Amino acid sequence: MTAAEILLLVILSVVSFLLIHGRLRPDLIALVALAVLGLTGLVTPQEAFGGFSSSAVMTILAISIVSEGMHQSGISKFLSQQMFQLGKRNEVRLVFVTVITAALLSLFMNNIAAAGVLMPAVIALSRRTRIAPSKLLIPLAFGTILGGMATLLTTSNIIVSDALRMAGYKPFGLLDFLPIGVVVVIVGAVYLTTLGRRILPARFPAGQVARAERLHAELAGLYGLRKNLSELQVLNGSCMSGINIKEGDWARRFGINILGVSRGGHLAFGPRGDEIIQTGDILLVQGEVIPSELEICGLKILPRVKAPKEVADENTVLGEVILSPRATVAGKTLKDIHFRDKYRLNVVAIWREGKPLREGLADIPVRYGDALLVQGSPLEMRLLRDDKDFILLEEDPDAVLQPGKASRAAAILVMVLGIAAFGWLPVAEVSLVGAILMILAGCLTMDDAYRSIEWKAIFLIAGMWPLGLAIRSTGLAGTIADYLGGFSVYGSEILALVLILVGLALTQLLGSQVASIVLTPIGLTLAASVGTDPRAIGMAIALSCSLAFLTPLGHPVNVMVMGPGGYSFRDYFRVGAPLTLIVLIIIMIGLKVFWGL
């Protein structure tokens, strides 16, 4: 071995030890490896920084933005609701639904895209069911990888197929991976639902709790918002008909607050001040009602409240705000500061000195220590974060910020998935176009796009990319090929097994894409030299590069779920090791049955 090869082996060993040890962040280790490779001259400066422009990095960046657009437009919430209907609150069923849904999506699209589509939905599902996200996100990632093993559309499979074509052999077809892949998906789903689920940690990262489902209920209960609820019908000739809520001054006239307006059978929460009340409307109000005063104005108290238990929906949420230390509105009433007109939010209660105030709110001067329960659209609620007078304490993480943009987001998503599935354009390019269209269509803002990007995944993949280049450029790949050639005397099955184990090891350290790039030329050279079917060896290599279950570096989808799931390197190994052994056995049997090895 040359000095460069020995030096590279030392760097690989140190990087592997640091990643497994877990004392340093993986993205920091990757950047250190990048710097060392550049300083030692094992890669050129262009090669050292080439990972930042790689297709994997650009795909993750773009898919992160597309996923945020889906989240803010409500598509992710819809997917989450459908998965919830299938799994209910049963953890076993939810894990199985997550794995199968991820596997089915990855049959028709890139694994990264499939994970990006489902990840916000699964996180929302976790919050709704109060099941730790760590119980669902590895099954999501592994599900996409398992599904990718059954189709040509996985990146490593495409790389191997293209290498066969360039070497003069018949490339793989769309269904060539299906016989082995289907068995892998079924067995893998059963494992993750049973033994794997028990091994998975129950962890809410960064102190997160399952707040989304409880938020509205807790706030409404704390402030006693469901007390004194009534429904009023606006009769023909009512003096309140034909004027907006602000002009009606309902709080001063009747001592009540309008929480919702039902019109044509549809109940809309959090009506704005310019909402015009019409004859026949049914108003959901909170407060002590005096029948005689209401009847004079042509308002009929309905005998029974038919409103739902919640006082918010996907378009209207509850939030809690307090006065900031620099507030200029202290001592002023909500009417004085035109709160409803300025913020387009409805104050439905004030918490003061340990008890809620629910009547005459417009004329109560606010003071330091007050907490205001507000009702309105998620987007208007979020704007309070930038206000100097108020601090937003509670915000629904699953709120649909752009409900009117769902159809646009869905159309963009279908376009991205369709083009990627048929291979008309590279996945990275079409994903980037989709991300740009999401922003132009108003599904999210540019600032939201920046916040949505998983920078940890970006730096981790880009930092590790030069290692794969160095393995080829230093000649280490050729040395490995010469060494592996000695196993051919034991038969094609042993040769395939050795190549699979090497592919497995490279995948954990360098990722499936780099591993397939490095190993495919070696495997095809060996197949030609020993007279083994190169397509069978290619199949073995392609499937081995999908055995990305032992470390987060094995596949970008593992990195994508690492932060939201609060996982460590050890979590992947504990869950992934048994799955790797199971899938490895299935691959060897499949190669014997379907490919004649």
* Ordered DSSP codes for 403-436: GGGHHHHHHHHHHHHHHHHHTSS-HHHHHHHHHH
Per-residue pLDDT at 211: 43
| Partners of 356 in beta bridges | 351
CA nearest to 398, candidates 149, 215, 132, 187: 215
Cβ within 8 Å of residue 562, ≥6 positions away: 26, 456, 457, 552
Tally of CB atoms within 10 A around 83: 22
Q: Rounded distance, CA 74 to CA 487, Å? A: 55
- Lowest average pLDDT, out of 134-138, 139-143, 222-226, 493-497, goes to 222-226
At position 22, the amino acid (one-letter code) is: G
Task: Identify the CA nearest to 276 among candidates 240, 229, 230.
Answer: 240
* Confidence band of 213 (pLDDT split at 50, 70, 90): very low
Which carries the bigger pLDDT value, residue 29 or residue 392? 29
End-to-end CA distance of the chain: 32
**Residue 149, phi then psi, degrees to nearest 5:** -75, -10
Using 50, 70 and 90 to split pLDDT, how confident is the model at 99?
A: very high
Mean pLDDT of the 347-363 span: 78
Specify the higher pLDDT residue, 435 or 106: 435
For residue range 429-484, list pLDDT tens digits in order: 888 898 999 999 988 888 888 887 878 767 877 887 787 678 767 877 667 767 77
Domains of the chain listed by start with CATH number = 3-207+419-595 (no CATH), 212-396 (3.30.70.1450)
Give the burial string for 190-223 (b: 16+ CB within 10 Å, else e). Answer: ebbbeebbebbbebbeeebebebeebbeebbeeb
Grouping H, G, I as helix, E, B as strand and the rest as coil, residue 355 is strand
pLDDT, tens digit, 9 for 90 and up, residues 56-69: 678 778 877 887 88
The strands making up 266-269's β-sheet, listed across from edge to edge, are 266-269, 257-263, 282-286, 229-234, 299-301
Quick one: what percent of the chain has pLDDT higher than 90? 15
Q: Are 462 and 44 in contact (CB under 8 A)?
A: no
pLDDT of residue 9: 84
CA proximity to 590, closest of 516, 515, 539:
539
* Interacting residues of 209 by C-beta distance below 8 A, sequence separation 6+: none
Confidence of residue 313 (pLDDT cuts 50, 70, 90): low
Cα(149)–Cα(457) distance, rounded to whole angstroms? Answer: 22
Whole-structure pTM value: 0.60
* 117 pLDDT above the threshold of 80: no
Q: Which residues pair with 221 in a beta bridge?
A: none
